Chains A and B, each alone.
Chain A
Amino acid sequence: MPSLRVRRGAVALLALAVVYLIAAQVGRGRLPDRIWMGAHYVENVQLLPTWHSLAEEGAFLLESGILLDSVLVSSGRVFIGLLLGSLAGIVLGLLTGWGTRVESLADPWVTLFRFTPALALLPLYVVWFGYGEASKVLLIATNVAVITLLGAHHGVRAVPRVYLDAAASLGASRWLRFRKIVLPASFPSIFNSVRVAAGLAWVTIVVAELIDARMPSLGYLLALSGAYPRVPTMLIGIATVGALVLVFDLLALLLHARATRWMGRAG
């Protein structure tokens, strides 16, 4: 017998699906299928595709390999950007958190990047690094780095002074204190920031790919379905991005639970 919580969650999701089903059936024939696109009309638009057409479109996208290719390409970009960005961000954040002098030196730079909306850098990166992979991956890396830097910085700053003083009075060197106290104690904060950054990385990649939609990618899929427009493809694209965000988040949570097992938890 699954717990009450799980059952209620399943009921809610099922209800959502049923509501959509009913809305799509009712909407069929009632919703306009001729849409003004700013310059011309498009015919045969299903604003709320029925389950049937969603399933058909999904099967087509899967069989042709478009969906899989897109998912692989986009996840690859997000993954590399996330890796590069969090490495740089965490190292810098640990440094600025641990040394006051480094903090004062880095502060103007951090402030500038922190308040720059992530996507505003995209046109600049296109000029610097071209339309290809580099600008997309580096855009993600920059955004991820800013968030993880702040996470690592605050994580280090939140380490209780007592721990450090106790270790110092027992003769621990500065390096040992950093390795044995600061690193593990700031880990949860760092990990949370990586989790937030992963979500933002997906927002970034969708737009980065929408602007230069050429290669197989989820942004390309969304742009293409918007140009025709082909609503089932669009909805499947949106749902796929959502599912990937969810998967990345779950992976992060699992890793987090594993890595912080030493902390021990009630319940």
Chain B
Amino acid sequence: MARRSLLWILSLAALIVAYTLVARAISRPDVVPPAEDIAGAFAALLGRGHQLPASDMPAHHHHSSDQVDTLTQEGVTLQASLAVTTARVLFGLVVGLPLGMLMGLLMGWSRRADDYLHPIYVLIRSVPPLSLITYIMLWLGHSEAHRLIPVVYAVAVTAVIPTYHGVRDVAGKYVVAARSLGARGRLLLIKILLPAAAPAVLGGLRYSIAIAWMTAVGAEMLMAENGMGNLLVGGGMWSSRLQTRSDPAVIVVGILALAAAGWAMDMLARTVSARLTRWAT
């Protein structure tokens, strides 16, 4: 075990050293930003950068670029962007999961519902949620709806299949056993079906979380004035996105923040599902 963590730490250190060396060798901070640029962008995005004018700290390296300037001018900070995106992800999960699970439950429970709904589900699943953005915008206007609906859609679609298999394949045998002992109706649903399907459903939850983050960030990159996607593409009007030269230091900070947030949410989901499905082990 100790040996493993040693290798892990060595690899992480090697990652950082290799990156620094490559950045030094290429010496193009506009393409591969050195570590101090990334730290500078991080500080600037936390809202520290513009409080201290550059003249006050001549000795200190002060990171500045078009993208950082635009973002600070618009008052964009890393923590606020991350909070907005997290809120969108949570909204998508809170609304999308019950929808998807309901459909999965229905399809897994009733053979008839499965026969009718499965082809329609396959159609819905095949459409990438982000391709719907402009169409939703025509219906509902330029608002929060066309950022949230794709996230809800993506989460709902990914939540169907784990629930479906959980109910049909895993819970099936428990249901047969409980039925033969006379369980029926609400008892069957709450005491047998839901707990038995839970491990599969919760396993799918982790995937839904990853998809929700990706869709939220994608929607924000395309059309939003806030959130991490907006930070990554450097603000501005959505129609002119990526026309300005972006600053890789900001993007690296954004990616690291998103990776950390995704990791934290995944850990939370794993801990909660381990708690809830303790009976199964």
Cross-chain contact B127 with A241 (CB below 8 angstroms): yes
Partner of B134 from A5, A121, A234, A245 at Cβ < 8 Å: A234
B259: interface (CB < 8 Å)? yes
Partner of B255 from A100, A108, A124, A241 at Cβ < 8 Å: A124
Q: A108-B11, A203-B129 are in contact. Are A124 and B248 (CB under 8 A)?
A: yes
CB contacts (< 8 Å) of A47 on chain B: these are 138-139
Partner of B221 from A13, A108, A122, A223 at Cβ < 8 Å: A122
Q: A101-B7, A108-B15, A211-B221 are in contact. Are A128 and B31 (CB under 8 A)?
A: yes
Cross-chain contact A206 with B130 (CB below 8 angstroms): yes
Cross-chain contact B130 with A120 (CB below 8 angstroms): no
Instruction: Give 1 or 0 for each of A198-236: 1 = CB within 8 Å of chain B CB.
Output: 010011001100111000000000110110010100110
Cross-chain contact A120 with B232 (CB below 8 angstroms): yes
A162: interface (CB < 8 Å)? no
Cross-chain contact B232 with A123 (CB below 8 angstroms): yes
B8-34, CB < 8 A from A: 8, 10-12, 15, 30-31
Cross-chain contact B131 with A105 (CB below 8 angstroms): no
Cross-chain contact B141 with A36 (CB below 8 angstroms): yes
Cross-chain contact A226 with B134 (CB below 8 angstroms): yes
Considering the complex, give the chain A residue whose CB is closest to the CB of B252: A124
Cross-chain contact B258 with A117 (CB below 8 angstroms): yes
Q: A101-B7, A229-B134, A231-B138 are in contact. Are A119 and B214 (CB under 8 A)?
A: yes
* Size class of the contact patch on chain B: 35 or more
CB contacts (< 8 Å) of B118 on chain A: these are 9
Q: Which of B54-62, B72-80, B109-117, B273-281 faces chain A?
A: B109-117
CB contacts (< 8 Å) of B141 on chain A: these are 36
Cross-chain contact A238 with B127 (CB below 8 angstroms): yes
B218: interface (CB < 8 Å)? yes
A246: interface (CB < 8 Å)? yes
Give the distance to chain B from A6, nearest Cβ to Cβ, in Å: 9
CB contacts (< 8 Å) of A36 on chain B: these are 141
| Interface residue total, chain A, C-beta cutoff 8 A | 63
A29: interface (CB < 8 Å)? no
Instruction: Give 1 or 0 for each of B94-133: 1 = CB within 8 Å of chain A CB.
Output: 0000000000000000001001111110110111111111
Cross-chain contact A9 with B116 (CB below 8 angstroms): yes
Give the distance to chain B from A102, nearest Cβ to Cβ, in Å: 9
CB contacts (< 8 Å) of A243 on chain B: these are 126
Q: A128-B31, A207-B218 are in contact. Are A106 and B11 (CB under 8 A)?
A: yes
Cross-chain contact A222 with B15 (CB below 8 angstroms): no
Considering the complex, give the chain B residue whose CB is closest to the CB of A115: B262
Q: Is the interface of B mostly helix, strand, loop or mixed?
A: helix
CB contacts (< 8 Å) of B127 on chain A: these are 238-239, 241-242, 245
Give the distance to chain A from B22, nearest Cβ to Cβ, in Å: 12
- Determine the distance from Cα of A114 to Cα of B123 in the docked complex, in whole angstroms: 28
CB contacts (< 8 Å) of A109 on chain B: these are 11, 15
Partner of A202 from B128, B245, B262 at Cβ < 8 Å: B128
B164: interface (CB < 8 Å)? no
Cross-chain contact A107 with B11 (CB below 8 angstroms): yes
Cross-chain contact A119 with B221 (CB below 8 angstroms): yes
CB contacts (< 8 Å) of B216 on chain A: these are 117
Partner of B115 from A8, A111, A124, A242 at Cβ < 8 Å: A8
Cross-chain contact A235 with B255 (CB below 8 angstroms): no
- Determine the distance from Cα of A35 to Cα of B132 in the docked complex, in whole angstroms: 17
Q: Which of B118, B123, B133, B138 has the most CB atoms of chain A within a 10 A radius of its CB?
A: B138
Partner of A123 from B122, B210, B242 at Cβ < 8 Å: B242
- Determine the distance from Cα of A45 to Cα of B134 in the docked complex, in whole angstroms: 13
CB contacts (< 8 Å) of A38 on chain B: these are 142
Cross-chain contact B258 with A116 (CB below 8 angstroms): yes
CB contacts (< 8 Å) of B42 on chain A: these are none
CB contacts (< 8 Å) of A222 on chain B: these are 131, 134
Cross-chain contact B7 with A245 (CB below 8 angstroms): no
- Determine the distance from Cα of A23 to Cα of B222 in the docked complex, in whole angstroms: 30
- Determine the distance from Cα of A123 to Cα of B217 in the docked complex, in whole angstroms: 12
**Beyond A115-B262, A123-B234, A203-B128: 14 further Cβ-contacts under 8 Å?**
A9-B119, A13-B123, A35-B138, A36-B141, A116-B258, A117-B218, A120-B251, A203-B214, A203-B215, A206-B130, A210-B222, A231-B135, A235-B135, A246-B126
> Can you list 16 contacts pairing A with B, beta carbon distance less than 8 Å?
A10-B119, A12-B117, A13-B120, A104-B5, A106-B11, A115-B258, A119-B217, A119-B221, A123-B246, A124-B248, A127-B248, A207-B130, A207-B218, A226-B133, A229-B134, A242-B127
Contact surface of B with A, Cβ cutoff 8 Å: 4-5, 7-8, 10-12, 15, 30-31, 112, 115-120, 122-123, 125-135, 137-139, 141-142, 210, 213-218, 221-222, 228-229, 232-234, 241-242, 245-246, 248, 251-252, 254-256, 258-260, 262-263, 266
